Amino acid sequence: MAMRTSLSALRFGALYAGAVFAVGFMLGALRTLLIAPRTGDLIAVLIELPIILGVSWLVFGALVRRPAPSKALTGLVAFLVLMALELALSAVIAAGGVRGFLASWLTPPGAIGLTGQIAFALIPLVHPAARN
């Protein structure tokens, strides 16, 4: 039973992260190409953050058909999958590799983005659809 719960949380966390990443990719493109040139990176991230967290809330709610498997494990898996996808994307579109990816968190927009990613991972713990 515990193994089934763990596998279910792994699948669910990966699905949740993948769905939110897809939407985040589109929002990130809009932020980078349309908003940031007009407002600067910090304001652009502050505009995008509540939108993507709202999307994350809605996506999680839409994916939960019954009580979510291991809420903490689901959130952890979702965070790790999201970070892996972000790192892969960063490696493709930006110079600097892992070091540059981590260094971006030391900037105000990067720190705010990381905070948003942590909030995304906590949604399984607080979303009413995940009640057990």
Q: What are 22-34's pLDDT values in tens digits?
A: 999 999 999 999 9
- Report the C-alpha gap between 119 and 53 in whole angstroms: 8
What pLDDT, in 10s, does the model give residues 86-132? Answer: 999 888 887 778 888 888 899 999 999 999 999 999 999 999 887 75
Average pLDDT over residues 45-70: 89
Encode pLDDT of 72-95 as tens digits: 899 999 999 999 999 998 888 877
Instruction: Name the pTM for this structure.
Output: 0.88
Dihedral sign (CA 57, 53, 119, 82): positive
pLDDT confidence bin for 48, thresholds 50/70/90: very high
Residue of 80, 76, 104, 111 lying closest to 90 (CA atoms):
104
* Residues listed for the chain: 132
Closest to 59 in 3D by CA, of 32, 28, 24: 24
